[in-house]
């Protein structure tokens, strides 16, 4: 593994250690942990390595007062601060175990996070309504002069409460989306960020100074060097709030990428079928129904190898 990446299995192992060492486990939690260990060989290997590296020092957390232990169990600002404190004490080792300056590492430390197949809605301190898709991570920085949300991964929809003295900005590695009294969607992709205006207007901008105002129903992809205005109304991309994946003439690979945050195992698409065009509405919370629908409408078949690997390959 590269020093600036954090494998999902490592993140899962860290989460399990936090839960099991909290002093608040029950039989159901312990059973779920045993299931996770047995789900794949690398789970047990990663757990053993994490125990070897962190086991003894981490026992300090178990005996800590609630003011320290509680933030480890909550996906909040306190949890991020405590984890960063543990990193500073050297309890997580080097970059192999926590690439804290990478997007993956920052996602682990984020103020707000959602796991696999988990959507979340909450009200921010200023009254704005935030929705997070599965597999998303956001940091919050609200100050007297600005309201900033940094989206490290995944996607969000925010209904902004007006505040003339503090503009609200959603920032990613590619650029900013500034609310002009609005509701809008922001999606992180590998090398770009998509912004879709659901109500009113948004101003998108890059570090280069380039900017573009988008009106209701308009959208754009932000790249580091340019803004790409997109044709058509893409407000359907926010349908995940209702548990639906709406697809309008997209490649199969794009559809599977959208399903990954809702699937606990690995998903692999054969190169021969990645470009097949897909159209339809699929349930996000029922993977088997979605896979069956794809197999019925496309020349593909779905091959499952236990709960941890699913292959989508040409039929026949």
Phi, psi of 70 (to 5 degrees): -60, -45
pLDDT at residue 80, rounded to an integer? 52
Q: Mean pLDDT per 10-residue run, the chain (316 residues)?
A: 52 70 67 85 78 48 42 42 48 46 62 90 94 94 92 96 93 95 93 96 96 96 96 95 95 95 90 96 94 95 87 91
pLDDT at residue 208, rounded to an integer? 94
Residue ranges and CATH numbers for the domains of the chain are 8-109 (no CATH), 120-236 (2.60.120.1440), 243-314 (3.55.50.30)
Nearest 5°: CA angle at 245, between 239 and 249?
110
- 62, 21 contact by CB (below 8 A): yes
pLDDT at residue 47, rounded to an integer? 77
Please state, in angstroms and rounded to a whole number, the distance separating the CA atoms of residues 220 and 213.
10
pLDDT at residue 251, rounded to an integer? 96
Q: What is the pTM of this model?
A: 0.71
- 108, 14 contact by CB (below 8 A): yes
Task: Return the closest-CA partner of residue 46 out of 13, 83, 88.
Answer: 13
Nearest 5°: CA angle at 170, between 169 and 171?
110
Q: What is the pLDDT of residues 72-106, one digit of tens each?
A: 333 433 445 445 544 544 444 444 444 445 555 56
Interhelix angle 77-88/66-73, nearest 10 degrees: 110
Q: Where in the chain does DSSP place strands (E)?
A: 112-113, 120-123, 129-132, 137-143, 146-153, 155-159, 168-171, 176-179, 183-188, 193-199, 201-205, 211-215, 219-222, 227-230, 244-251, 266-269, 277-283, 300-305, 309-314
pLDDT at residue 55, rounded to an integer? 46
């Amino acid at each position: 593994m590269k020093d600036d990446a954090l494998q999902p299995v490592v993140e899962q192992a860290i989460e399990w250690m936090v839960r099991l060492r909290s002093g608040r486990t029950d039989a159901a939690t312990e059973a779920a942990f045993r299931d996770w260990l047995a789900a794949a060989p690398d789970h047990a290997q990663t757990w053993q390595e994490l125990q070897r590296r962190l086991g003894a020092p981490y026992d300090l957390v178990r005996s800590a007062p609630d003011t320290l232990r509680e933030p480890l169990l909550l996906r909040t600002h306190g949890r991020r601060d405590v984890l960063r404190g543990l990193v500073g004490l050297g309890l997580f080792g080097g970059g192999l175990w926590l690439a804290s300056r990478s997007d993956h590492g920052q996602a682990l430390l984020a103020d707000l996070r959602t796991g696999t197949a988990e959507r979340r809605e909450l009200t921010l301190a200023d009254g704005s309504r935030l929705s997070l898709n599965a597999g998303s991570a956001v940091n919050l920085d609200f100050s007297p002069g600005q309201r900033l949300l940094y989206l490290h991964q995944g996607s969000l929809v925010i209904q902004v409460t007006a505040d003339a003295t503090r503009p609200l900005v959603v920032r990613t590695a590619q650029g900013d989306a500034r609310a002009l009294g609005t509701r809008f969607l922001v999606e992180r992709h590998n090398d770009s960020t998509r912004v879709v205006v659901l109500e009113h207007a948004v101003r998108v901008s890059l570090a280069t100074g380039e900017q573009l105002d988008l009106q209701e129903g308009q959208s754009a992809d932000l790249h580091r060097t340019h803004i790409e205005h997109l044709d058509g109304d893409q407000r359907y991309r926010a349908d995940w709030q209702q548990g639906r994946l709406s697809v309008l003439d997209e490649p199969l690979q794009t559809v599977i990428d959208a399903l990954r945050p809702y699937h606990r195992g690995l998903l692999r698409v054969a190169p021969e079928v990645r470009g097949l065009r897909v159209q339809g509405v699929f349930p996000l919370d029922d993977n088997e129904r979605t896979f069956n629908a794809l197999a019925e409408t496309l020349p593909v078949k779905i091959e499952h190898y236990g709960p941890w690997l699913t292959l989508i390959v040409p039929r026949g």
